[in-house]
Structure 1
Amino acid sequence: MRSSVYLSSQFRVPYSSVLQSLLCGIALCIGWVVTPQLSSAAARPNVIVLLIDDMGWADLSCFGGKRPETQNIDRLAKEGLRFTQFYVNSPICSPSRVALATGQYPHRWRITSYLNNRKSNEERGVAQWLDPAAPMLARELQRSGYATGHFGKWHMGGQRDVDDAPSIATYGFDRSLTNFEGMGPKLLPLTLRPEWTEPKRIWEDAERLGAPVTWMQRSEITGGFVKNAIQFIDEAVAAEKPFYINLWPDDVHSPFFPPLAKWGNNKRALYRSVLDSMDEQLGVLFDHIRDDASLRNNTLILLCSDNGPEFGAGNCEPFRGAKTWLYEGGVRSPLVVWGPSYLDANATGTTNDQSVLCALDLNRSLYTLCDVSLPSGIALDGEDLSRTLLGKERGTRQAPIFWRRPPDRPGFGAGFQEDNPDLSVRHGKWKYYVNYDGSDPQLYDLEMDVSEKANRAESEPSVVRELHRQVMQWNASMPQDAGNPGS
């Protein structure tokens, strides 16, 4: 909430308004002519949450990636603030998205792996779609006067044969445009390889999940989402409304179909070409915001990934694991926050490598940054780290961060020939892993061992006991899925 001065028990007025009134009164008394004007940063910010699909922690060149050079995202980071200890709340797409959208652990809503067809969802103990009763940041922003739009991958209901899921509008969005994993208007991919004479269609059955449908080259779909987001932004500005946008491209998820001019000869090369093309297409949005003074001074952009990279495609070095794994490579994500009028000037262009935070905290912090009331009668799992996000302090999450293995991802099949632990918790410098039955405890000191090579479980029994108690207690408080043999 913005700082306020209390004039009575009934009225609350921002300091800026009081100061403005006093100055105007003084001016009138002595004959000055004053035009009342608040600083642009005093307005509720426009917000764009950019959630990239299956991108590794070290894929962006501003996070150490060697190629491609992600010039547009790098410039955003140079003008903004980077966080190196940011986590998502699942190593796989649907639950990660639920956490960011709701501010609650996705396990509360029985979404613990990617949403698939009905039979598969039932077998894994996973919901068919996100319950509309879940708290939604977008819905609260919409109620408070924001124009709300979702452009890109949804994957929280409405996919394969699940064709009776709620519309995206049900969750608080004025407008949406999605891909094959969501209800409503969509962009669907045409695919093309150098040896083909004409493009092919994939996910054609998704046409029944909403209309209108536009078919376009898979290599250009991020640009399609950007174009529609910009149109929505311009309409919101014309209507004099702040806007909130989810821009969730399905890049850089496989299958990889970059432009033919950037074609590669193996999985990693194709992935990098898709990443390069995505960066170019996102640059159109960044320039649109940056080149308009009113947008530049009143917009926050938050950029991260939904989980780690597919094995053999992206890069999450020096971390262990990748997508679907509870190890750092599966759940640690790059985070960039951009907003020239909101970030502390001394933080611009710097890196915060101290603060530990997660997607739950992004959600909670946006309530404060946008000056909107929390959902009534519901406790969020995130913490308010809004000042940390703006570089005004280096706070860190106080509560532990918990994870549960997706029920269909036990390991030995996602590129690593080892078990994927069932449960995990990060608290302070420690990361602890254990199976449901208490077997194979692992403890790593992430300050000294970010690659998680030296298991300290035997030498730190008191730490193991406490973190084991916490993660078991948390897991017992959540609905179970088919991954737990005792469920």
Structure 2
Amino acid sequence: MKRLLSIVTLFVMFGSAFAAEQRPNIVMVFIDDMGWGDFSCFGNADAKTPNVDRLAAEGIRFSQFYVNSPICSPSRCALTTGQYPQRWRITSFLNNRAENDRRGVAQWLDPQAPTLARYLQADGYATGHFGKWHLGGQRDVDDAPPITAYGFDESLTNFEGMGPKLLPLTLKPGDIAPGKIWGDAERLGKPVTWMQRSEITSGFIDAALPFMKKAVAAKKPFYVNLWPDDVHSPYWPPVGKWADDKRGLYLSVLEEMDRQFGRLFDHIRSTPELRDNTLVLVCSDNGPEPGAGSAGPFRGHKTQIYEGGIRSPLVVWGPGVIADGKGGTHDETTVFAAFDLVPSLLKLAGASAPADVAFDGEDVSAALTGRSEGGRQAPLFWRRPPDRKFWAPMVPAAQPDLAMREGKWKLLCDYDGSQPQLYDLARDRAETTDLAAKEPELVKRLTTAAVAWHRSMPEDNGAKIASEPPRPKGKKNKKAK
């Protein structure tokens, strides 16, 4: 009996520590402005991405994964909070103070917002953010909270975040010396390191690797954001990989980014403490810039709430975390979105949010790890960025204001439910055949739901801006992200 009690005592003393060691490490790679069809494992025949392709060959590829906005900052807000970005008044890219006010968006993410990093940090995870932030601290907005205020132990960012940063040097064929861009961002945090724009992804990896090693040495699981500047314009590939057109420059940057990812993925794969207990997720924050990346078979691109602006390629890798036999599989049926990753990763980590926090995201951890193909239950909703009813010359026609997906159905409409479009994504994923006139009762029900969701969220100035006279060509997009 005494011996049994001793065993029980030891289990109580050390069982939680043992369980902590088994909790998965998580690496979230969030690429900037990359299209659904840009990885070669998603169909790109013009460029090769062998390092991401290998992750897909060993992990799970998801075809019906969405982000929660077709533009940068709100997409990042949803992935950070597990909630619709409209709740935090982040509905377009964060710009200077005057532009943020004009569009009716916040100057930065409220530090009281729920964040995945904070809840993992509270549960014993080491948390680090390495890369683009764009949730506060940019242009003349220099009093935003530091990234560490959102639950990160360490951070390193670019010109769109508060804290230590990497800033870009630029070099093209024929240049005698490198140039500097975003130099005024030095006041947004120090220390500052200047490095070639073509190498900055590796600079963030250079910071992430020792952070991971330190966590392993401390026997702590870790959560790492690796959010590169790539593949956002302007495009600065290595001089030796220069191209003469926008598409060619983009593809050179894409391939170089993948090459730099290789060192991160190889380190995880070759480190015994990480190989079988680390989950790596790779996706993009929104669709591609027109003329650069590819949305594959989908209609639309960045800033649009057609599929090409909001579908994102997702690769999930994790031997020992994903189900046996699921390596190299392709999930074409599970429908879920970036904000679903927050409750799902908390579940996999054995952590939780406070009881008074309500996520819009749902736990889809079983699908994420290949144990089922059941996606989220509630519909998905989107609202266009307030300044993107038009985006001349890239989007010269008026765009729908709202979108929702329920089952196989995709509805788009304006704020008041007018101008509805309806698509059967099971048969028409390219959104080519509008069925609204043939399904009036369905359209009525879905538009009612979309408008009700829209009205339940804080307003931005989307309707007001849409009614303003067009600005002089070029002025509106001068600082657009």
**TM-score (ref. length: structure 2):** 0.92
- Measure, in 2, the Cα distance between the counterparts of 1:167 and 1:486: 31
Q: Secondary structure at the match of 2:64?
A: strand
Give per-residue Cα distances to partners, 1:144-187, cap 9 Å, x unaligned.
11000000000000000000000001000000000000000000
- Measure, in 1, the Cα distance between the counterparts of 2:261 and 2:154: 20
Deviates more, 1:96-105 or 1:366-375: 366-375
Q: Aligned residue for 1:64? A: 43
Please report how far the alpha carbon of residue 348 of structure 1 lies from its aligned counterpart in structure 2 after TM superposition.
1.0
Q: Aligned residue for 2:313? A: 334
Matched letter for residue 357 of structure 2: I
Please report how far the alpha carbon of residue 437 of structure 1 lies from its aligned counterpart in structure 2 after TM superposition.
3.2
Please report how far the alpha carbon of residue 418 of structure 1 lies from its aligned counterpart in structure 2 after TM superposition.
2.3
Q: Aligned residue for 2:427? A: 448
Please report how far the alpha carbon of residue 471 of structure 1 lies from its aligned counterpart in structure 2 after TM superposition.
0.6
User: Does 2:267 correspond to 1:288?
Assistant: yes
- Measure, in 1, the Cα distance between the counterparts of 2:288 and 2:446: 27
Please report how far the alpha carbon of residue 415 of structure 1 lies from its aligned counterpart in structure 2 after TM superposition.
2.1
**TM-score (ref. length: structure 1):** 0.91
2:148 aligned residue (169, 174, 178) = 169
Are the counterparts in 2 of residues 41 and 297 from structure 1 also a CA contact under 8 Å?
A: no
Distance 1:486 1:93, change over 3 A: closer
Please report how far the alpha carbon of residue 298 of structure 1 lies from its aligned counterpart in structure 2 after TM superposition.
1.1
Q: Aligned residue for 2:291? A: 312
- Measure, in 2, the Cα distance between the counterparts of 1:330 and 1:400: 18
Please report how far the alpha carbon of residue 463 of structure 1 lies from its aligned counterpart in structure 2 after TM superposition.
1.3
Q: Aligned residue for 1:108? A: 87
1:384 aligned residue (363, 366, 385) = 363
Q: Secondary structure at the match of 1:96?
A: helix
User: Does 2:384 correspond to 1:405?
Assistant: yes
- Measure, in 1, the Cα distance between the counterparts of 2:21 and 2:438: 52
Q: Aligned residue for 1:15? A: none
Q: Aligned residue for 1:474? A: 453
Matched letter for residue 285 of structure 1: L
- Measure, in 1, the Cα distance between the counterparts of 2:396 and 2:102: 25
Are the counterparts in 1 of residues 20 and 221 from structure 2 also a CA contact under 8 Å?
A: no
Give per-residue Cα distances to partners, 1:303-348, cap 9 Å, x unaligned.
1100000111000021011000000000000001100001112211
- Measure, in 1, the Cα distance between the counterparts of 2:189 and 2:153: 16
After superposition, the CA RMSD in angstroms is 2.1
Are the counterparts in 2 of residues 125 and 482 from structure 1 also a CA contact under 8 Å?
A: yes
User: Does 2:170 correspond to 1:196?
Assistant: no
Q: Aligned residue for 1:29? A: none
Matched letter for residue 78 of structure 2: A
- Measure, in 1, the Cα distance between the counterparts of 2:403 and 2:274: 41
- Measure, in 2, the Cα distance between the counterparts of 1:289 and 1:396: 28
Q: Aligned residue for 2:440? A: 461
Are the counterparts in 1 of residues 417 and 451 from structure 2 also a CA contact under 8 Å?
A: no
User: Does 2:58 correspond to 1:79?
Assistant: yes
Q: Secondary structure at the match of 1:219?
A: helix
1:358 aligned residue (337, 351, 366) = 337
- Measure, in 2, the Cα distance between the counterparts of 1:223 and 1:203: 19
Are the counterparts in 2 of residues 135 and 375 from structure 1 also a CA contact under 8 Å?
A: no
Give per-residue Cα distances to partners, 1:29-61, cap 9 Å, x unaligned.
xxxxxxx9x999981100000000000000000
5+ long unaligned stretches in structure 1 = 1-17, 26-35
Q: Secondary structure at the match of 2:52?
A: helix
5+ long unaligned stretches in structure 2 = 467-481
Are the counterparts in 2 of residues 101 and 136 from structure 1 also a CA contact under 8 Å?
A: yes
Matched letter for residue 244 of structure 2: N
- Measure, in 2, the Cα distance between the counterparts of 1:256 and 1:42: 41
Q: Aligned residue for 2:161? A: 182
Distance 1:201 1:147, change over 3 A: same
User: Does 2:191 correspond to 1:215?
Assistant: no
- Measure, in 1, the Cα distance between the counterparts of 2:42 and 2:64: 12
User: Does 2:251 correspond to 1:251?
Assistant: no
- Measure, in 1, the Cα distance between the counterparts of 2:218 and 2:98: 45
Are the counterparts in 1 of residues 96 and 138 from structure 2 also a CA contact under 8 Å?
A: yes
Matched letter for residue 77 of structure 2: V
Q: Secondary structure at the match of 1:365?
A: helix
Q: Secondary structure at the match of 2:412?
A: strand
Give per-residue Cα distances to partners, 1:110-133, cap 9 Å, x unaligned.
000000000000000000000001
Q: How does 1:233-252 map to 2 (within 5 A)?
A: 233-252=212-231
Q: Aligned residue for 1:421? A: 400
Are the counterparts in 2 of residues 443 and 464 from structure 1 also a CA contact under 8 Å?
A: yes
Give per-residue Cα distances to partners, 1:353-372, cap 9 Å, x unaligned.
00000001111101100110
The size of the alignment, in residue pairs, is: 458
Distance 1:312 1:486, change over 3 A: closer
Are the counterparts in 1 of residues 416 and 451 from structure 2 also a CA contact under 8 Å?
A: no
